Structure 1
Amino acid sequence: MTTLSDTTNPDSAIVSTPEPDPGNRNERQLTTLANILKAGGDGLRLEILRVLRNGAFGVLELSGMFDMRQPGMSHHLKVLVKAGLAETQREGNQIFYRRPIINTRPAAGNAEKWLIQSMFKAIDTSPLSDEMQRKIDAIQNLRALQSRAFFNKNADKFVQQQELIAEYAYYARPCVNLLKTESFARPATALEIGPGQGQFLAKLSPLFDKVYALDNACSMLEQSKQFAAAHQLPNIEFVLGDSGVAVELGLKADAVIINMVLHHVANPSGLFQDSAKLLNSGGIVLITELTHHSQAWVQDKCGDIWLGFEPEQLEQWAANAGLAEKDSVFIGLRNGFQVQVRKFTSVAIQ
């Protein structure tokens, strides 16, 4: 038993704090486990959890996928959230639902975490139906189309808008430093996804024998081409498309670089999966991204879909793609944003 007393007041009463009752703790744990099992004991809710493996979705998006009214879908999501099988993610005025961010290491000693991990592993063993996958693809393609339209319309304002959040100089040097700690076999190849106006290509060009510049907005890719020509960067190959196109083309790289792009991507977890497929053995994925924030004005001004990401979220997506963190740098900015520079590599070579 622990006691607390106010030694400055001799008349103060001694307050006793009883030790936790192991019986009560065990009972609470059993109640928690029962709630998890009860929430997961419904076929529809299990299907919702399977869909959430593909990313975060709003209640209207999920209602459309399952052809049900919003109140009914809201009820199921509320049950999943209460049980810890799902959680909310606020993006400005919108609320998305996702699977909880759970450390991917073994959950020894934590019964709730072990149960949730086991449940997710079990329901992920079989693929979604073709019809459901088409519905997911349609939503993510619509997001990508809206993002691409924004950049095609605002390509000439890209730098000014981006630097409202984080100036290129703040994260370029840490990125280069993390690249220089690697010893790539020659010839070495880099692939930058979303090069913007091409500034970082000037850093990659002397470090690699060949550099791919990949962008799904033709106007942005044209600006990168003009930058490379003006700075005489002869080893850049430009590719129009997204990471899925790069995979289909069979591109391979020793380093995949994704600078301030992930918050514009319709399916961030999918980008991790594609990046892992694009890596040569021993390669790295280098990501510069905002940590999660609440400054919703960036959605209108900068075309952001997501308001940054928790560091643990990136780690979980990386682990799901067979990648492990190798190094990281966090940079706090005076405007309230924080930038994370993360380097991931194949788990197999750790």
Structure 2
Amino acid sequence: MDLKRVGNQTVVFSSPPVILASYSVVGPMEGRGPLGKTFDKVWQDNINGEKSWELAESKLLQEAMQGAVEQAGIPLSQVDYMLAGDLLNQIISSNFAARKLALPFIGLYGACSTMALGMAVGSMLIDGGFASHVLVGVSSHHDSAERQYRLPTEQGGQRSLSAQWTVTGAGSVLLGQSGTGPRITAATLGRVLDYGETDVGNMGAAMAPAVADTLLNHFQDLQRQPEDYSLIASGDLGMVGADLTREVMLRSGMSLGSEYTDCGLMIYDKSQDVHAGASGCGCSAVVFAGDIMQRLTAGSLKRVLLVGSGALHSPTSSLQGESVPGIGHAVVIEG
């Protein structure tokens, strides 16, 4: 058997799946940010006629996934699997969106790394001959995440300067066995690392070691350097985590250089007062489905490394004094 695994943690696809289409739906705050014009749909408010923030989040995801299928011009009946995840308990946003779409469903949880994880798993399904079309999507909602993880939104609690703002948004891509579009050529699945960070208001510090570990293994496995990429985008470490990742990489003998940025630093500007940047499953998803995909399609980006970062904690584990483990998953997309 000819294994497609290379090195410690990377797989290289012999028949790279094609991203046939992408679609992004965001809330009004995201629409006012510097990437506002790159999103396919901007809601006028965060609830959009629904009875709760949780139902609104599921609607975000459903619209994004339907949008990707419609943009590709592929009948929904030709989609073999739907892969989706979110931040809420038992990934309810994804479950309820799957109930509407009525596709064979694989639920995923990688916290904010779920978009990259979904793209990697979807690519494995296609490259392995198990599917011809896979629909991948994730969502997050500022208010539903605040209610679950932190303080009641109505309470107006003070946020620490290291805290990040959860993106209200959903992003989706439709992967195909053949067709026209950027291709996913490789994936590096990460390990769970925990350096004892207990401050849930500083997720960037908790995730940075895992992202750096995935990057180091990726470059070693493929014998590449950061300059081999037009763009390296983590998502979403924010200001604190991105700086720490640069430092860890430098101490390991590698500079990420000007090719590196973080999706959590791209989606908002300083005037929006989000402290350390953005977070949430939807952050890297909408940045990739919008801005990055458009630049890949236009040819201004040739090879992109998207590194999803996840803080694998829950309200229960935090209340019980557990630290916050981190994970990083990477996918290579080539135009």
- TM-score scaled by length of structure 2: 0.34
Structure with bigger RCO (C-alpha 8 Å, 6+ apart): 2
Normalised TM-score (structure 1): 0.33
